Amino acid sequence: MSFALSFPVTGKPAEVLELVERPLSNLEGHAVRVRMRYAPVNPADLNFIEGNYGRPSNPPDIPGHEGCGEVVAVGPLVTSLEKGDVVMPLLGAGCWSQYLTAAEHHFAKLPSSIDPVQASMLRINPVTAWHLLNKHVDLEPGDWVVQNAANSGVGRALIQIAKKQGFRTINFVRRAELIPEMLELGADAVFLDTDQGVAEAKAILANAPVKLAANAVGGDSAIHLMELLSQEGMMVTYGAMSRRSLKVPNKHLIFKNLRLHGLWITQWFEKASSAELYEVFEPLAKMILHHELVTAVDCILPMKEHRQAMARAQEASRHGKVILDLA
């Protein structure tokens, strides 16, 4: 038997989520059984439970878009994995369970010595940040990248990955107390997300070209990014934290010929080949091993304290991810 967190109906996560017990299925063919260890609580998970995610849930359903675990058994036809391997599920749901069973191609093997807590947060935010930096414009060492929501999970990963790849970052945050933390993380420059902050960023750039902007907020914050983009620069929108529509001043389309693009990493996963996945996971896993990519953790709570975990994950005052201990 396996315990899992499930929701019978969509609604507020702290109210509808419940701990349930499920039987384990028999292993056949290419099936692999993984003993899950840790899984983060992401905004996408909360939206999935609420019924507000890009892909609709189908209650009763088990949330959990990412996690980390260890292979405990394999089917007779499995060739890529064996008992004891550390893996990351690629299913995109169902990770909030003690055991997860799926075909072997739904798991990515990770280094055995990797920190399982950090590995549990590898699939979404770091991959999104890597994709932003490597799949939209041709950046060269020394190039500037600008972003808002720099203290978010993706924002923090982007700062660290950009530093590793030799790119410089200008980062916008909403609170002044976050600036020292972002600089310590490796940001080259950090400003408040205001008109004054934009003016200060322009002074730092001194007319240096900016090819890429990463937008997770929308509204006026996105306009701040467009102000800094160079001619024919690209703004990639991967979130809408302000819940305000994207506003594009005519002058930026006409005179700058800016390019606007969207990114939902879930769709990319659905189309990516094994080679493309390896291209992303391999360098990111190495960064985690060498402590060059670290995701902040607010607290680690057992499954039985799921109500507290859901409530904490929705608090603005937390200092990192809320992690579920699936033991």
Catalytic residue numbers?
Answer: 53
CA diameter of the chain: 63
Q: Rounded to 10 degrees, what is the CA torsion of 57, 61, 67, 69?
A: -150
- Any bridge partners for residue 264, and if so which? none
Q: Could you give the CA distance from residue 104 to residue 109 in angstroms, rounded to a whole number?
A: 10
Angle between helices 125-134 and 274-289 (to 10 degrees): 110
Kindly give the residue spans of alpha helices, DSSP state H, lying in the chain.
13-16, 43-50, 116-119, 125-134, 153-165, 179-185, 195-205, 219-228, 250-254, 265-271, 274-289, 306-313
Q: Could you give the CA distance from residue 84 to residue 47 in angstroms, rounded to a whole number?
A: 33
Per-residue DSSP letters for 39-81?
Answer: EE--HHHHHHHHT-SSS---SSB---S--EEEEEEE-TT--S-
Query: What is the H or E stretch that residue 107 is in?
Result: strand 107-110
